[in-house]
Amino acid sequence: MEKKNFINAELVKSNKSFNKVWMITTEGWEPKFCKNAAKALKYIFMLKRSTGRYVSNATLESLKLEIALRRDPETPLTHLQQQMIEAMPPQLITVPAPSKADPKPVSRRKPRKAAK
């Protein structure tokens, strides 16, 4: 198959922050940047449905791995997933931020004064 029939997703470093960004590219379309793997996967399937192009197994596996690690860092990994993590550059491996015990209070709108 030709390379232009595939939808590719790759990690890129954001210039605005220290976060990773997924860049989705395909021939003839502008690159799309997604902040997390779940949104990138959703966009890939939407693009696949509208263009009829293929998605490589490596792209799907890397996105699924990233989603699994984000949800539960203690998830047992398969042998293939371990190899994928070892092949990643160290600056691209995600470590989820620790969750805070006390959530930030929600600010509410002040009530209006009653009309006299």
Residue 87: the pLDDT is 64
pLDDT per residue as tens digits for the range 58-86: 888 888 888 887 777 666 666 656 666 66
Which sequence spans correspond to the domains of the chain?
A: 3-92
Token digits of residue 112: 């209006």
Cα torsion for 49, 3, 13, 37, to the nearest 10°?
30
**Listed residue (50, 51, 33, 67) closest to 9, CA to CA:** 33
Whether this model's pTM surpasses 0.85: no
Q: What is the pLDDT of residues 18-71, one digit of tens each?
A: 677 888 988 888 999 988 889 999 999 999 998 889 888 888 888 888 888 777
Average pLDDT, the chain: 76
Q: Is the dihedral angle over the CA atoms 47, 49, 53, 58 positive or is it negative?
A: positive
